[in-house]
Amino acid sequence: MAQIKQIGPGRKTTGTIDGVTYVTRNGKTYVRSTPTMPTSAYTTPAAKKRQAIFKFVQMHLKLHLRTIKQTFTAKDNGSPTNRYYSANGKALTLALDPLADLYLNGQDVTIDDVEQAISDYAAEHPKSIKIASKSGYQDVYLTGAWPETITLNASTGDSTVIIIVAENGTTTTINADGTTTVGSNGSSGTNGAGGTDTSGTTGGGDNTGGGSNSGGNTGGGGNDDPDSGME
């Protein structure tokens, strides 16, 4: 895909023109040829199964979006969710394959079913699904049900970051000198009064913990769209 800066007088940066698609990512615009596929390619049993699995993956990503944004370092012009999917796409497909068969046979599939299937697969294949891959820290793998906390150990030194999943991704950084830093996305404040409360009620939500009001919907840094750019 070639990068472009603008298109004509209207500076159109997204959409399709004469068989060419323009996509904007992280403030940069790229151009690529628009794929042409016959309708039948999307209606075969195999295609329908892929669509079902992708639907389940989207459900899974949306549930863990705030955590993934903090436990994965994006590469190039991608996003943390892109990287999560890139690292785990094959394993997630294998985990969700049986559910896709049930779904295509008319059975309702809930997010609980999706999470259970992924948890069961992770328990059998404990080195197959990464739930953390952050620059400067060791990778963390899913080994069963999605944990309530994710601890990131530094590749060198003693620094540790703990992601409190139950509090929408509030991070607690335990520094090498023993001090604690609490805040949204691992920023702000030091040892605030509410910084160690992980009950999910008042711990990070009233700005008394030295953080930046991470108890609400802004805790994970973004909206609930699990990034539609997975290709």
Q: What is the pLDDT of residues 95-140, one digit of tens each?
A: 999 999 999 999 999 999 999 999 999 999 999 999 999 999 999 9
Report pLDDT for 86. 95
Confidence category of residue 168, pLDDT binned at 50, 70, 90: low
User: In Å, what is the CA distance from 183 to each residue of 64, 88, 175, 220?
Assistant: 19, 28, 14, 11
189 shares its domain with 160: yes
List Cβ<8 Å contacts ≥24 apart for 141-150. 142/118, 144/119, 145/115, 145/119, 146/64, 146/115, 146/119, 149/198, 150/67, 150/71
Domain limits for position 97: 40-141
Same domain membership, residue 187 and residue 203: yes
Q: Are residues 6 and 18 in the same domain?
A: yes
Residues 134 and 67 in one domain: yes
pLDDT band at 39 (very low <50, low <70, confident <90, very high): low
Q: Which amino acid is at 191?
A: N
Q: What is the pTM of this model?
A: 0.63
Q: What percent of the chain has pLDDT over 70?
A: 61
Strand partners, 32: 21
Residue 77 counted as domain residue: yes
Lowest mean pLDDT among 3-12, 57-66, 107-116: 3-12
pLDDT at residue 41 in the model: 63
Q: How far apart are the first and last CA of the chain?
A: 13
Band the pLDDT of 76: cuts 50, 70, 90: confident
- 229 domain residue, yes or no: no
Q: Are residues 163 and 125 in the same domain?
A: no
Q: Residue 160's pLDDT band (boundaries 50, 70, 90)?
A: confident
Number of domains in the chain: 3
On whether residue 227 sits in a domain, the answer given is no
* Judgement on whether residues 89 and 137 belong to the same structural domain of the protein: yes
Give pLDDT, residue 77. Answer: 81
Answer yes or no: is pLDDT of 44 > 70: yes
* Residues 32, 79 within the same domain: no
* Residues 72, 24 within the same domain: no
> Would 231 be classed as within a structural domain?
no
Judgement on whether residues 69 and 112 belong to the same structural domain of the protein: yes
- Whole-number pLDDT of residue 23: 73
Q: Considering the domain boundaries, does residue 110 fall inside one?
A: yes
- Pair 186, 174: CB distance under 8 Å: no
Residue 208 pLDDT more than 50? no
Residue 79 scores a pLDDT above 80: yes
E-strand spans in 58-204? 130-132, 140-141, 149-153, 160-164, 170-174, 180-183
Let me know whether 158 and 134 are in one domain.
Answer: no
Please determine, for residue 31, whether its predicted confidence score (pLDDT) is greater than 80: no
Among 123, 141, 159, which residue terminates a domain?
141
Residue 204 in 3-state DSSP? Answer: coil
Burial of 212 (0-12, 13-18, 19+ CB in 10 A): middle
- pLDDT for the residue 129: 98
Rounded to the nearest integer, the mean pLDDT of the chain is: 75
